[in-house]
Chain A
Amino acid sequence: MQTEEIREIISKYEDHSGRILGILEEIQDIEGYLKKDTLITISKELDVPLSQLYSLSTFYSFFNLRSLGRHVITVCMGTACHVKGASYILERLQELLDVQEGEVTEDGKFLLTTEDHSFSLNIARCFGCCSMAPVINIDGTIYGHISAKDLPEILKKYDWRE
């Protein structure tokens, strides 16, 4: 991202409350993740140490330091989903997408991306859609009351092939 664009985003945040997180969120919304170069520029522009930005982006689960796949699948791991078998859904998705645990990022966040970069798989604490448990979210669309059996059909809508 160009310095000019970053400056423009920063200029929107006159109020210091919520400023740094707001800027990082807005930039991630545009770029998909927080690039190192972008963080360096933000650090200079805001006069905030890069180490602080790095610790923020690893502390808060919303931020990614690595690029995501074309489609992002988030499995809700909330309590209602858990008692209705969310962990099975997650395991089945790992199998279908052929991504395995152990590839968790350095910062300890759960994020698995397929080799061809078509899908990223991550987890959320709770979407607040507990009435439809278990739920997953693909690119912002929520699928509720799903079972492991439904997954291939859902994935096919996103150009997944067996």
Chain B
Amino acid sequence: MKVISIEALNRIKEKGLKKLFPDKLRIAVGFATCGIAAGGDKIFAEFEKIIEERGMQVYFTQVGCIGYCKEEPLVNVTLHGKPLVIFNQVNKEDVPKIIDGLLKDEILGEKAFCKIEKWDHVTGGEIFYGEGFSHITNYTEIPYFKHQKKIVLRNAGLINPEDIEEYVAVGGYFSLFKAVRELTPEEVINEVKQSGLRGRGGAGFPTGLKWELTKKEKSEVKYVICNADEGDPGAYMNRNEMESDPHMIIEGMTIGGYSIGATKGYIYVRAEYPLAIKRLKKAISDAKKYGFLGKNIFGTEFSFDISLVKGAGAFVCGEETALIASIEGRLGMPSPRPPFPSQEGLWGKPTNINNVETWSNIPVIIKKGSSWFSKIGAEKNSGTKVFSLVGKVKNIGLVEVSLGTPLRKIVYDIGGGGTKGKSIKAVQTGGPSGGCIPTRLFDTPVDYEHLKEIGSIMGSGGIVVMDEDTCMVNIAKYFTEFTQHESCGKCVPCREGLKEASQILSAITEGKGEEDNIKRLKEIGETIKVTSLCGLGQTAPNPVLTTIRYFENEYEDHIIRKECKAKVCKNLINFYIIPEKCVGCMACSEKCPVGAINGEVKLVHTIDQEKCIKCGTCEAVCPLEAIIRVSKQSKNISKTYSG
């Protein structure tokens, strides 16, 4: 059933809307990777079972993830004509209770997290869900949600990502129709240029300009590629975008293909994301069935197809030229530019590569227009960015905000601040290419330029929160080991320099640091930055350089005083049993792999520091939290823990 006319597209929209607003109850379980891991699959099975048992008339389905990972598993319920209600932290026992309420047209307040009365699906405009349920908090009143601006995540967690009709219902593929039927390729590019959209993979190159460069090249064959090799540890925005709304990426790429004159697109997705792969495959095949991909799209001369290519686990393949090498079946090693991929890319043909999130913005720009889009965000930084807010922060999840939003707002107003009463020390943005930003700089607006100014980068959007229990030298060591391992080995400074930096950092954390280490680390870092071919090497020293810049005192603690105040570096701490808390249960002494714990039943235990290998097993198994870490340097242990 190929869709050619706007009437036919509208008919699919009507069908989709009937699924989103059936004349009966709709129940949808949040079903992205994290939702499933949190127990969403069991909740889904339980609902299915009870619905079947009671013979209920329900439109039962799944949705993606709305991004509030901390509250998962989430379940959406829509009673006909009433607001959409989101239930949070649903467990198996809650399911019959929720259903009992629903059978009486009631929503149990206890597990009802919030309600959505209306929602701006952006491409589909504002959709009214219903009014009522005064006892349930409105979505716009939840601190986590109220400061967010959803453009990329416009449909995430509200539609079934495996149902193309639901995507069309919220305005999907109307932008593609507009582009290929009403606009010339030049007009599309112009619109993207005017919007000010910049690459969301991290570097921030203007998207419209990139398209124009590829369009200018004369070639019968051109390609577009979606970079879905989300490699930054601590970042999972793209995973959710693919799992929750895969069609927006396909629509964006197809519009891109039309404007630059490509007939073939590839999505390069990392193998670690099986659900994203499954949903993208289904989305591509459905889009072909409806004629949104394939020959003569919407009855025009334009034909375009998309295939999926799975990555095989190499961080460096996030770099454009390495990614292309990988698709061609070669080692993922970057090559010098020029020639740029826009000139000679995949198989030597002009190729335009954009990140998942960049493509996701395209249907919005075409639908709403560049002037609408460019008003969002900050100067030279239009639009929004999705961040994965993780680490030592209360509200963990995916956060979409206008560019230019201060870090403070993201970490405290949306994130709710630190956990367990601990104070936040820094955030790390941009993954292994980024830097650590101390709290005193939290008023910095999050945009490409400001983050760069303070030594970090926007990157793909990971924000990892660190508190007083995080050792910054250890963090620098962690990232340096990571990039050392992931360096492809082509450029000597990156390959050898990172190795040396990594060795020095290891020595420092082991209490073997020497006074000139800091100077040496800076030298190595600056050299790698200016002598590496690709972005991996050019940015790999950032974690070391920023931690030295903002937390030099911690380096000095380790090097001079041989002390790790965060009590992370094993060689610099001891494990200690608090006598007042120990009841002599013997859990620790039985589990100690080296027999370093002395003590008998119901008597206070002690640790033989000579024998202890600092494996932390005792700390993990103690049921009373009687085992703590103390600095080796502390003279008076009792004072250390009583504080």
The reply on B392 being an interface residue by CB < 8 A is: yes
The reply on B336 being an interface residue by CB < 8 A is: no
Task: Please indicate the chain A residues that have their CB under 8 angstroms from the CB of B272 in the complex.
Answer: 124-128
Minimum CB distance partner of B326 in chain A: A21
* Chain A window 134-151, contacts with chain B (Cβ cutoff 8 Å), 1 for yes, 0 for no: 010000101110011100
Nearest-Cβ distance from residue A10 to partner chain B, whole angstroms: 12
The reply on A31 being an interface residue by CB < 8 A is: no
Q: A17-B327, A79-B464 are in contact. Are A125 and B616 (CB under 8 A)?
A: no
Q: Judge whether A79 and B34 touch: CB under 8 Å.
A: no
A25–B309 Cα gap in the complex (Å)?
11
Q: Judge whether B615 and A128 touch: CB under 8 Å.
A: no
A81–B388 Cα gap in the complex (Å)?
13
Nearest-Cβ distance from residue A115 to partner chain B, whole angstroms: 18
Q: Judge whether A148 and B233 touch: CB under 8 Å.
A: no
Q: Judge whether A15 and B312 touch: CB under 8 Å.
A: no
The reply on B142 being an interface residue by CB < 8 A is: no
Nearest-Cβ distance from residue B463 to partner chain A, whole angstroms: 10
* Chain A window 97-137, contacts with chain B (Cβ cutoff 8 Å), 1 for yes, 0 for no: 00000000000000000000000000011111111110100
Nearest-Cβ distance from residue A40 to partner chain B, whole angstroms: 17
The reply on B150 being an interface residue by CB < 8 A is: no
Nearest-Cβ distance from residue B42 to partner chain A, whole angstroms: 12
A16–B312 Cα gap in the complex (Å)?
16
Within 11-62 of A, Cβ neighbours of B (below 8 Å) are at: 15-22, 24-25, 48, 55-56, 59-62
A95–B331 Cα gap in the complex (Å)?
35
Q: A17-B266, A129-B34, A130-B234 are in contact. Are A83 and B313 (CB under 8 A)?
A: no
Among candidates A61, A80, A91, A92, residue contacting B234 with C-beta atoms closer than 8 Å = A80
Nearest-Cβ distance from residue B514 to partner chain A, whole angstroms: 25
Q: Judge whether B233 and A125 touch: CB under 8 Å.
A: yes
Among candidates A19, A84, A88, A149, residue contacting B329 with C-beta atoms closer than 8 Å = A19
Nearest-Cβ distance from residue B482 to partner chain A, whole angstroms: 7
Q: Judge whether A132 and B233 touch: CB under 8 Å.
A: no
Task: Please indicate the chain A residues that have their CB under 8 angstroms from the CB of B308 in the complex.
Answer: 18
Q: A61-B312, A95-B615, A132-B37 are in contact. Are A15 and B235 (CB under 8 A)?
A: no
The reply on B51 being an interface residue by CB < 8 A is: no
Q: Judge whether B233 and A126 touch: CB under 8 Å.
A: yes
* Range, interface on chain B: 35 or more
Q: A25-B310, A92-B617 are in contact. Are A83 and B391 (CB under 8 A)?
A: yes
A88–B462 Cα gap in the complex (Å)?
23
Q: A131-B70, A148-B620 are in contact. Are A125 and B478 (CB under 8 A)?
A: no
A80–B235 Cα gap in the complex (Å)?
9
A46–B359 Cα gap in the complex (Å)?
34
Within 248-305 of B, Cβ neighbours of A (below 8 Å) are at: 266, 268, 271-274
Among candidates A24, A79, A143, residue contacting B462 with C-beta atoms closer than 8 Å = A79
A143–B36 Cα gap in the complex (Å)?
10
A52–B312 Cα gap in the complex (Å)?
15
A132–B396 Cα gap in the complex (Å)?
9
The reply on B390 being an interface residue by CB < 8 A is: yes
Minimum CB distance partner of A78 in chain B: B233
Among candidates B36, B234, B313, B347, residue contacting A79 with C-beta atoms closer than 8 Å = B234
Q: A17-B328, A21-B326, A131-B70 are in contact. Are A147 and B620 (CB under 8 A)?
A: yes
Q: Judge whether A60 and B314 touch: CB under 8 Å.
A: yes
Among candidates A18, A84, A149, residue contacting B310 with C-beta atoms closer than 8 Å = A18
**How many residue-residue contacts, CB under 8 A, span A and B?**
161
The reply on A75 being an interface residue by CB < 8 A is: no
Task: Please indicate the chain A residues that have their CB under 8 angstroms from the CB of B331 in the complex.
Answer: 55-56, 59
The reply on A7 being an interface residue by CB < 8 A is: no
A24–B330 Cα gap in the complex (Å)?
13
Nearest-Cβ distance from residue A92 to partner chain B, whole angstroms: 6
A19–B232 Cα gap in the complex (Å)?
25
* Chain B window 232-243, contacts with chain A (Cβ cutoff 8 Å), 1 for yes, 0 for no: 111110010000
The reply on B334 being an interface residue by CB < 8 A is: no
Within 455-492 of B, Cβ neighbours of A (below 8 Å) are at: 462, 464, 466, 470, 475, 478-479, 482, 486, 488
Q: Judge whether B266 and A80 touch: CB under 8 Å.
A: no
Task: Please indicate the chain A residues that have their CB under 8 angstroms from the CB of B36 in the complex.
Answer: 142
Point out which of B311, B329, B462 has the most chain A C-beta atoms below 10 A from its C-beta.
Answer: B329
A22–B307 Cα gap in the complex (Å)?
12
Task: Please indicate the chain B residues that have their CB under 8 angstroms from the CB of A129 in the complex.
Answer: 33-34, 37, 236
Nearest-Cβ distance from residue B353 to partner chain A, whole angstroms: 13
The reply on B346 being an interface residue by CB < 8 A is: yes
Q: Judge whether B391 and A79 touch: CB under 8 Å.
A: yes
Task: Please indicate the chain A residues that have their CB under 8 angstroms from the CB of B271 in the complex.
Answer: 25, 62
Nearest-Cβ distance from residue B620 to partner chain A, whole angstroms: 4
Task: Please indicate the chain B residues that have their CB under 8 angstroms from the CB of A149 in the complex.
Answer: 620-621
Nearest-Cβ distance from residue A152 to partner chain B, whole angstroms: 9
A63–B36 Cα gap in the complex (Å)?
26
Task: Please indicate the chain B residues that have their CB under 8 angstroms from the CB of A91 in the complex.
Answer: 615-616
Q: Judge whether A59 and B332 touch: CB under 8 Å.
A: yes
The reply on A77 being an interface residue by CB < 8 A is: yes
The reply on A82 being an interface residue by CB < 8 A is: yes
Minimum CB distance partner of B225 in chain A: A17
8 contacts between A and B (CB under 8 A): A21-B326, A59-B331, A83-B392, A95-B617, A125-B315, A126-B272, A130-B234, A130-B391
What is the interface of chain B, defined by CB distance below 8 A to chain A? Answer: 33-34, 36-38, 69-70, 72, 230-236, 239, 266, 268, 271-274, 307-315, 326-332, 346-347, 388, 390-392, 396-397, 428, 431, 462, 464, 466, 470, 475, 478-479, 482, 486, 488, 593, 615-617, 620-621
Q: 16 other contacts beyond A17-B266, A128-B33, A144-B37, with CB at 8 A cut-off?
A: A18-B307, A18-B309, A18-B310, A20-B329, A21-B309, A80-B233, A82-B233, A83-B391, A83-B466, A84-B391, A95-B617, A125-B233, A126-B231, A129-B236, A132-B69, A143-B37
What is the interface of chain A, defined by CB distance below 8 A to chain B? Answer: 15-22, 24-25, 48, 55-56, 59-63, 77-84, 88, 91-92, 95, 124-133, 135, 140, 142-144, 147-149
10 residue pairs, one from A and one from B, having the closest CB atoms: A131-B69, A18-B309, A20-B329, A79-B234, A128-B236, A148-B620, A78-B233, A60-B312, A61-B313, A126-B233
